[in-house]
């Protein structure tokens, strides 16, 4: 069974974790050990240092490896810290970067139309996916506010937590057709099956939360979920492939 991870990072965090993954070589070794085919990755420096610094580190690191896709981090652009969306998207295409991440509470801004309307409108138009983590850098209330202003945004909500945050993300799945959730930390017994039953397999993406979580945990959970093989493959890799293909980068 093939797996394409939508939620993994590498690089050394400022605060040392239990099992750091220093560089792309270590990441690839762990992917091989787990039998993981491809991954959409980001560099922890995008969060801990600065998006510009981490984005450059990411692009350089993944360039030689076609099984790795990048996810850059962006900021509000009133201070002209980033190029305009059209140029940003061109740079993404050249670097095999297929999605964007934001950490508004960590990076001290509000992810809304006032702050980032131009970029989010361009992302909606080009169907560029936004990845947000409710474990790192964005609160549920901010996710709700963002989607209320940009209801067509392709958004993947990651790391939603081991306490089974269904009451938080199910309203968003019901209201916004382009919202998805990943599986990192979604350890809930029967949770995947319930989501597939209520919303279809197209709304769930395999995400590991690596290196803070093991690749193998949710791979095993998906492989043995009580859902059809076709649904397993959608979650394991096809949904992320589709989202990347739909983006007009």
Residues that bind other proteins (CB under 8 A): 17-19, 33-35, 162-164, 166-167, 185, 187-191, 193-194, 209-221, 223-226
Q: How far is the CB of 162 from other proteins (least distance, A)?
A: 6
Q: How far is the CB of 63 from other proteins (least distance, A)?
A: 26
Q: How far is the C-alpha of 7 from the C-alpha of 35, rounded, in Å?
A: 16
Q: List all residues 6 or more positions away from 151 whose beta carbon is below 8 Å from its beta carbon.
A: 175, 176
User: 129 or 209: whose CB is closer to other proteins?
Assistant: 209
Residue 161: DSSP 8-state: -
Q: How far is the CB of 106 from other proteins (least distance, A)?
A: 21
Phi, then psi, of 62 in degrees rounded to 5? -85, -15
User: 1 or 125: whose CB is closer to other proteins?
Assistant: 1
Q: How far is the CB of 20 from other proteins (least distance, A)?
A: 9
Q: How far is the CB of 136 from other proteins (least distance, A)?
A: 15
Q: Is 175 in contact with 151 (CB distance < 8 Å)?
A: yes
Q: How far is the C-alpha of 116 from the C-alpha of 82, rounded, in Å?
A: 12
Mutual orientation of helices 140-149 and 166-175 as an angle, nearest 10°? 0
Q: How far is the CB of 47 from other proteins (least distance, A)?
A: 18
CA dihedral 76, 80, 86, 87 (to 10 degrees): -130
Q: How far is the C-alpha of 39 from the C-alpha of 236, rounded, in Å?
A: 11
User: 99 or 191: whose CB is closer to other proteins?
Assistant: 191
Q: How far is the CB of 206 from other proteins (least distance, A)?
A: 12
User: 74 or 225: whose CB is closer to other proteins?
Assistant: 225
User: 124 or 187: whose CB is closer to other proteins?
Assistant: 187
Question: What are the CA-CA distances from residue 234 to residues 127, 203, 225 (Å)?
Answer: 19, 9, 13
Q: Is 146 in contact with 115 (CB distance < 8 Å)?
A: no
User: 144 or 163: whose CB is closer to other proteins?
Assistant: 163
User: 116 or 221: whose CB is closer to other proteins?
Assistant: 221
Q: How far is the C-alpha of 53 from the C-alpha of 58, rounded, in Å?
A: 9
């Amino acid at each position: 069974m093939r797996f394409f991870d939508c939620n993994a990072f590498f690089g050394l965090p400022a605060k040392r974790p239990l099992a750091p993954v220093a560089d792309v070589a270590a990441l690839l070794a762990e992917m091989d050990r787990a039998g993981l085919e491809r991954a959409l990755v980001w560099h922890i420096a995008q969060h801990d240092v600065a998006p510009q610094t981490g984005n450059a580190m990411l692009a350089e690191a993944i360039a030689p490896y076609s099984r790795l896709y990048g996810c850059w981090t962006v900021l509000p652009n009133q201070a002209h810290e980033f190029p305009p969306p059209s140029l940003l998207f061109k740079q993404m295409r050249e670097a095999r970067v297929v999605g964007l991440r934001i950490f508004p509470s960590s990076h001290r801004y509000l992810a809304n139309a006032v702050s980032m309307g131009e970029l989010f409108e361009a992302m909606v138009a080009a169907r560029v996916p936004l990845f947000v983590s409710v474990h790192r850098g964005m609160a549920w209330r901010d996710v709700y506010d963002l989607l209320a202003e940009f209801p067509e945004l392709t958004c993947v909500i990651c790391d939603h937590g081991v306490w089974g945050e269904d009451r938080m993300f199910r309203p968003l799945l019901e209201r916004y057709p382009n919202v998805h959730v990943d599986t990192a930390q979604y350890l809930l017994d029967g949770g995947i099956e319930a989501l597939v039953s209520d919303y279809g397999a197209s709304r769930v993406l395999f995400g590991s939360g690596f290196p803070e979580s093991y690749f193998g945990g949710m791979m095993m959970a998906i492989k043995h979920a009580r859902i059809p093989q076709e649904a397993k493959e959608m979650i394991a890799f096809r949904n992320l492939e589709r989202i990347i293909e739909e983006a007009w980068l």
